[in-house]
Every structure is written in C-alpha cells, then in structure tokens.
Structure 1
Amino acid sequence: MPDISMRGYQMPASPIRKLAPLSDAAKAEGVKVYHLNIGQPDLPSPVTALDAIRSIDRITLEYSPSDGYLFYRKNLVEYYKKFNINLSPNEIIVTAGGSEAVLYAFMACLNPGDEIIVPEPAYANYMAFAISAGAVIRTIPSDMESNFALPEIEEFEKLINERTKGILICNPNNPTGYVYTPQEMEKIRLLVKKYNLYLFSDEVYREFIYNDTPYISACHLEGIEENVVLIDSVSKRYSECGIRIGALITKNIKLHDTVMKFCQARLSPPLIGQIAANASLSEDSSYMQRNFKEYKSRRDFLIDRLNKIPGVYSPMPQGAFYTLARLPIDDADKFCAWCLSDFRYEGQTIFMAPATGFYVTPGLGTNEVRIAYVLNTEDLDKALTVLEKALEEYKNVCM
C-alpha cells in the first residue's frame, strides 16, 4: 500500500488525548476515571447560549460568511472594549475554535522552513499546527523554580536568524498558568519591533487571572500593531468547547486578506456555534464572577493538596486552570499509562497528561504532569488521594 506523508510521521500524538483508549478500557471495566488530563470545563454553559440554540427558528441551517456573521463580530467589538482592546468588526475573523485560528495564522504568515520561537513548556498542539504548516518551532525552556517566568530576552536573540518569522506566547499560559508581567510584555514588544517579527498571542484565558498581575494583551503594545496576531476562543470562558468558535484578530490588512483565503476555502465557521457564542455575550456579569471564584477556589485547594503529597511539587498558577506538577517518578508517560491500565484504588484511577508532550527539548518534562483543575473540589480531593496511592504503589512495583 502507498506510504503516508512525512508530515503524518512527524505529527506528534496529543499528550492530552493519546491515552484515551486506556481510559475507555478502564471505564468499560467499571472503573471510575478522574479526568485531570484535559481542559474541559465542568461548569455550566451560559443559559443564554443554551436558550439561543433551543430557540433556533431557521428553516435552513445555512452557510455563514467566511469571516463569521457581522452581528457577532460587532458584538465582539464591544466585548473587547471591556479589556481596552479597540477593534473594528473587519479586524476580527471568526474561526472554528482557537485551533483553526492558530493554524491559519501559521499558514498565512510562515513559509515551509520558517521558524517561530516559543517559550516552553507550551500548549502541545502548537507543535502540531507548525508541522501542518511546514514551519519549525524553536523553544526556550522556562523553569518551575521561577514559576515559568519569561526566559531572558538574550535567550530569544540567540535563536533569531534569517528564517525567524515570529514569537508565540500564551497569556495566561497553558500548561503552566503563568501570567506575563507588564515588564515582560514590554521586553517582547521591543524584540518584535527590533527584528520585525510576528507576535502570535493566545489569550483565551484572560478572564482567569488570580493574582494582582494586570492583563496585558499583545493588542495593548504600541508600535507593533500590525505585527500582532491575537488568538481567542469561547471554549474556556463560557464552557463551550464543543461549539468550536474562536477568533483570529489582526490589524494587518494584508494578513487579514490572506487568512480570508483559507477561510473561504473551508467555506464558513459553525453556524450554530456562532448563535450560541453571540448569545453568551449578553450573559450577566455574575456568570463570569461565579466561574472565576470557583476556579480560584479549586486552584488553591489543588496546589495545597498536591504539595502535601510526599515528593510532589507544583508552583502556584497565576491564571488559566492548569498546573504542572513534578512527581517522584522516572517516566511520566509510563506512569500516566500505568495509572489507567494497571492501577486501581477502590475502583478508581486518574487520567493525567504527561508533560513531555508540552516540551520540544528532549529530556524535559519526564517527571512532570499537567493537571487541569476542571473538577469540583470533592472530586479533586478523591483524585489526589488516588494519585498519592498510585505514587506509593508505583515506587514499589515499577521503579
């Protein structure tokens, strides 16, 4: 039979989902699996969104415009104003989730072989999207001891060459929960301007910043307005992962028009998703306040409980709803798979994402896992009890 593509060989398996068959098998045995692996919020989606879906009175579910419905983009303009991000509807392109926004940004900005610099650990799918576009990810490690602060700018400059086209950040960060300071964002601004780079900025967790660090959007940075590509999504802030609505935002007209070619080729973003996302914009502010309070409470509980387990350490995340935890193990991939395939505690086990998939540098993350605190504190408590028991048994059986 014909061989598959080199791109297919290079495409990494998702650290978030690759162990799903083991989880499914455990569930088929009747095992309770606590999902700490994926950022699937368990909080309710806005009632306004659910009501809007139930009230759809269209006779035909039609294509929408390739850049999304104008009524939705106009309402997004008002949403972004709350964060001092001033846009016009024509600077917003609605996408099928933030994932499509990242992919189209890479496809429009990068030639095969072009390089982008990314602080690591980083969201695993960035690497997959770069491979899809034929681009190369160059990473600079941040470290747990500094709570994953931005690496020194001199480390970025060491990697810049004639193939370097951009820098990619996630703020607040997935998987670390780090929030970049105003001083760090200014350093990035100066670097982008000095070398005339694109700045791809994934800001889908802006509503979830738990400390006093102010939210500084890439769109706030003066003098590089046409270099900035903002990535956004409703998945996390409204617990609407399944409606697949995101946005690519740029003030660069040439880039906008180029991205639109890819959007036209895929025809349109999801119709029903736009209806739900648009309705969510009218949700009372108490919705986000409740969610913020709940995630902050879960974060505080999780980190306190994790750091009481012998040999485990996690810094305090400043935003989003993830943390990286260092475990007393030899191989996170092996340990996470073993938890699902072999370990049971009172009919329960845990599903975590091995952190190796969030690094590009070989050897990093081998004793780390990403944990998403998207379970209520009662279930988090049970899951961490299972983790503690698993670590005790793994030490005796597998190390």
Structure 2
Amino acid sequence: MPKISSKGRLMPASPIRKLVPYAEEAKKKGINVIHLNIGQPDIKTPKVALDAVRNHKIEVLAYSRTEGSDNYREKIANYYGMHDINVTAKDIIVTTGGSEALAFTMGSILDEGDEIIIPEPFYANYNGFATANGVKVIPIVSAIETNFALPPFSEFEKNITPKTKAILICNPGNPTGYLYNHDEIKQLVSLVKNHDLFLVADEVYREFAYDGKHHHSILKEEGIENNAIIVDSVSKRYSMCGARIGCIVSKNQEVIHTALKFAQARLSPPTLAQIASEAALDTPQSYFDDVITEYVSRRNLLVSELEKIDNIKIAKPSGAFYCVVQLPVKNSDDFAQWLLEHFNLDKETVMVAPAGGFYATEGLGINQIRIAYVLDKKQLVRAVKILKKGLQQYLAK
C-alpha cells in the first residue's frame, strides 16, 4: 500500500474541530450541543455586505485579480488609514481567509528547517502551517497565573539562533484574549530590528479591545517597514467567517512580490466574497460600538459564572472573544470527549476546545480548555451550568 508523506503524518489535528464526530453522534441521540469550541460569532453580518451580494449585477462569475480587485485593496488601504496605518493598495494581497494569508507568509519568509518564535498558547493552526512548511516552532511560554502576559524579553533573546527568521504574535490573542500593550509592541519591534528578523502580527481581532484599552498595530511603528507583516481577515470583524477573505499587508515589497507568486498558484480569491467584504468596509462605527459592548457584557457574565465553579483558574481576556480556563482534571481532551459521549443535563451538553492543541510544548495546557463566548448570555449561563455539573460528575466517577 502506498504511504502518505511524513509531513502528512505530522500534521496536527485541530483541537477546535477534532471532537466534531462525537458532537454529531450526540446530536443524533437527541442531545442539544452548545458549542463553546469555535469562534463563530452569532452577531449578525452587516446588512450592507449581504445586500452587496444580493444586488450584484454579475452575469459571468469570473476570476478576480490574483492579488484582489483594485477597488477592494484601495478600500482596505483606506480602512487602515483610518487606524493611522499608512499603506497603499500595492502593500496588500487579498487572500482566501486569514489562514491562507498565514500560509503564504510562512512560505514567503521561511525555509525548511528555519525557526519561528511564537508566544504560547497560540492559535492552533500555527502549528499546522509550520508543519506544512517544514518550519520549527520555538514556543515562549506564558502562564495562566499571569493572565498570559507576554513573557520576559530575555526569554525571546535566549531562544534566538542562526535559524530564527521570524517572531509571530496574535494581538489580541487567540486563545487567551491577551492584548499587547504599546510598550510590549515597541520592545518586540526593537528585538526584530536588532536581530534582523520578521515580525508577523495576526491582527484579525483588532477591533475587539476592552476596558478602555487600545490595539497597537506593528505597522504604526517607525523603522520597521522591512520587518513587519500583518495578517488580517474579515471573518471576526464583520461576522463573515464563511466569506473566507483575508489579506497580507506589508511595506516590504519583496515580501509582497513573493507572496503574490504563492497567490498566483491558487489563481484568485473568491469574487462574490470580495464584493461582500468590500461593502462591509462601509459598516458604520456604531456597529462595532454595539458589538464591543455586547462582548464585554458576555465576558463579564462568563467570568462571573465560571467563578462559581470550585478549583478552576480563569484568565480574564482584554480582547478577542476567548477565555482559557484551567480545570481540576488530568486531561481536558478526555473530559471534553466524555461530555459529548456520556453526559447531558436535561438532554443538553457542551462542546469545548481542549487547550493542549494551542501549545507547541508537549504536556502544557492538557488540563485547560478554551471557551468562545460567541453565544447570547442566556446560552452562556446555561452552558456554564452544564459544564459545572459535568465536571462534578466526571470527577466523581
């Protein structure tokens, strides 16, 4: 029998989606599964985006430009300008989601055997993109005890080797909700300039900053034009996960031209989704104000309800819409699967994301879960009640 590749065998399964078969089996048994595992917002997509697709006059659904339409990239540049990030359309490549932007970025700046430093826990698919490119992730551990604050910069310094080519951050963070302050961004900028490294920032949650705090983009910093690469997406900002539209933004034209070659190999990003995404840029600020108010309210409620559970630790997020919780269990994968296979409360159970898959260091996060608070408050209260009862029964068995 022919063998699959070593790379394929090493590709990690998604901690967010790997329990889906168990959830589907539970649903077949008549169990309602409350999904806390995936960052699919329930906030309505802006009407202006949906109307743009409904009312389009296209008669032939043709390829678009490989790098995305001129009009859309111009409007993206204008969007960044409103956030004091000065870029032009030539600094932008539209991609099929933020995932493709990450894959193209890694392919453009890293060779097989190179190393990329990433503070952990981090978005689980970073492991997958690194594996696909033959790249080694060098994790810098942050801890729930410090609310996943950025580790000391001495930890970064001592892990830089001749093979190190980049540092990757997610700001605000998935799965932690940690929001980097301006001083941390400045220190990272100084670090990559001193060591001639790329700094890649996944900024898809830029709008989601809470408690009077503000997001600080790496492209606002001076003197980092050749080092800085932003990865972005419409998925969370406009509740348009299914559009699969993202982008790479960099003033380093060698990076852009290289990424364009990867983009040419997949021909073009989806045309209708670009139409929706271009229209979404006309969404009024009031939409985001309402969304932030709602997420802050949900976060506060979730943390308050979780604090009623004994012997757990909670990291309070300052951005995004995720919360990492440490449970009094040995293995959260086993617990999460058990919730779906063997537990329900009045014909309902919950699906969570085991957090071990958000780490690169083996053994870390195995007693943690990530909760996405993308459900209405009534559902969140119900979900935490089920989680509490399930945890009590699991520990007693």
Aligned residues: 397
Could you say which residue in structure 2 is the equivalent of 1:347? 347
What is the letter of the counterpart of residue 245 of structure 2? I
Deviation at 1:183, TM superposition (A): 1.1
Runs of 4+ in 1 over 6 A off after TM superposition: none
Name the SS for the 2:323 alignment partner.
strand
2: CA distance, partners of 1:172 / 1:153: 18
Write the deviation string for residues 269-305 of structure 1: whole angstroms up to 9, x where unpaired. Answer: 0111100001111122211111111111101100111
Is the Cα contact below 8 Å between 2:144 and 2:313 reproduced in 1?
no
Could you say which residue in structure 2 is the equivalent of 1:30? 30
1: CA distance, partners of 2:100 / 2:117: 20
Could you say which residue in structure 2 is the equivalent of 1:88? 88
Aligned counterparts, 1:370-385, within 5 A: 370-385=370-385
- For the pair 1:362 / 2:362, whether they are aligned, the reply is yes
- For the pair 1:157 / 2:164, whether they are aligned, the reply is no
Aligned counterparts, 1:306-345, within 5 A: 306-345=306-345
Name the SS for the 1:328 alignment partner.
coil
Write the deviation string for residues 335-383 of structure 1: whole angstroms up to 9, x where unpaired. Answer: 0010011111110000000000001111111110000000000000110
Could you say which residue in structure 2 is the equivalent of 1:214? 214
Could you say which residue in structure 1 is the equivalent of 2:240? 240
1: CA distance, partners of 2:101 / 2:283: 24
Aligned counterparts, 1:134-283, within 5 A: 134-283=134-283
Name the SS for the 2:314 alignment partner.
coil
Could you say which residue in structure 1 is the equivalent of 2:298? 298
1: CA distance, partners of 2:148 / 2:212: 17
2: CA distance, partners of 1:29 / 1:79: 47
- For the pair 1:44 / 2:44, whether they are aligned, the reply is yes
What is the letter of the counterpart of residue 12 of structure 2? P
Scaled by the length of structure 2, the TM-score of the pair is 0.99
What is the letter of the counterpart of residue 334 of structure 2? K
When the two chains are superposed, the root-mean-square deviation of aligned CA atoms in Å is 0.8
Deviation at 1:310, TM superposition (A): 1.1
Is the Cα contact below 8 Å between 2:353 and 2:369 reproduced in 1?
yes
Deviation at 1:214, TM superposition (A): 2.4
Structure 1 residue runs without a partner (length 5+) = none
Is the Cα contact below 8 Å between 2:339 and 2:349 reproduced in 1?
yes
1: CA distance, partners of 2:359 / 2:307: 23
Write the deviation string for residues 47-78 of structure 1: whole angstroms up to 9, x where unpaired. Answer: 01111111122110000000000100111111
Is the Cα contact below 8 Å between 2:16 and 2:37 reproduced in 1?
yes
- Over the matched positions of the two proteins, sequence identity in percent amounts to 48
2: CA distance, partners of 1:3 / 1:352: 33
Name the SS for the 1:138 alignment partner.
strand
Structure 2 residue runs without a partner (length 5+) = none
Write the deviation string for residues 156-177 of structure 1: whole angstroms up to 9, x where unpaired. Answer: 1111111000000000000000
Write the deviation string for residues 128-162 of structure 1: whole angstroms up to 9, x where unpaired. Answer: 00111111110010011111111111111111111
Deviation at 1:213, TM superposition (A): 2.9
Name the SS for the 2:350 alignment partner.
strand
2: CA distance, partners of 1:18 / 1:165: 31
2: CA distance, partners of 1:213 / 1:225: 25
